[in-house]
Structure 1
Amino acid sequence: MDERLPAVLATDRVEVRRVHVLAGHPAGRHVHNGPVFGSIVEGSVLFQVEGENEVILRPGDVFFEPAGVPIAHFDALDENVTFLGYFPLTAGQEPGLRR
């Protein structure tokens, strides 16, 4: 993946999280306060950035969730999912999302 951000981001730090999602669990429509990069470690998800095509992500696949853009789907399919999420953060910023 080589993703160009829509604006220069004064990154102060990058937080990395290992996230687990139970099989069949839909994340629900959500929006992040900053860009998120990630990679699937185990399981598979239905992924869709609003306005783009749905895709199935499997182990080894990478994804990008742009800041301020709704994520329509990040839904665990028929097995538990583990992914690594990388959050580039500006000074004083914490990762966040809203539904």
Structure 2
Amino acid sequence: MDQNPVERVTLASLDLGDAARFSAVDVRRITIAPSIHPGAHWHDGPVFGVVESGSVHFRVGDQDEVILRSGDTFFEPGNATITRFDATNEGVTFLAWFPHPTGADPELTMGEFPPQDSTTPTAPRAR
């Protein structure tokens, strides 16, 4: 046999910093309809993902925007503004991994992190 029957390719290698605080992981399949732009948001912990189908405009904070397509991986740091996660005209479906402490649910908050005015009520958190 000339070829190795199993190929392993590292798609991303990320520093988790305080990874010891995580004891569980939720894995979710999320679909955003074509041309839907949910707006800036942030998570209380890191999110790791891979695009299954379609494509999405992706930008963290003031970093350069990229278009993610099927097979592309992404990382959303905890407590950082995800400036764009906007479906293109073909929509997007992706798998996302949400590590979290036991007994806690990963949370998503709309708007920028940190909230600009802590006296202003924030939008309800999606789970």
Q: Report the TM range for the smaller structure's normalisation.
A: over 0.9
Give 5+ residue unaligned stretches, structure 2.
Answer: 1-11, 111-127
- Report the counterpart of residue 58 of structure 2 in structure 1: 47
The residue type paired with residue 105 of structure 2 is E
Is 1:38 paired with 2:43?
A: no
What stretches of structure 1 of length at least 5 have no aligned partner? Answer: none
Q: State TM-score, norm by structure 1.
A: 0.95
CA deviation map 1:49-68 (0-9, x unaligned): 00211000000000000000
Distance 1:52 1:42 in 2: 24
Partner of 2:6: none
Root mean square deviation of aligned Cα: 1.0
Task: Indicate which of 38, 52, 55 corresponds to 1:27.
Answer: 38
Shift of 1:70: 0.3
Query: Aligned-pair distance for 1:7?
Result: 2.5
Match in the other structure for 1:73: 84
User: What is the aligned residue count?
Assistant: 99
1:9 and 1:90 in contact (8 A); partners too: no
User: For the residues of structure 2 that align with 1:8 and 1:41, how far apart are their CA atoms?
Assistant: 26
Letter in 2 for 1:43: G
Structure with more contact order per residue of length (Cα contacts < 8 Å, sep ≥ 6): 1
TM-score (norm 2): 0.75
Larger Rg: 2
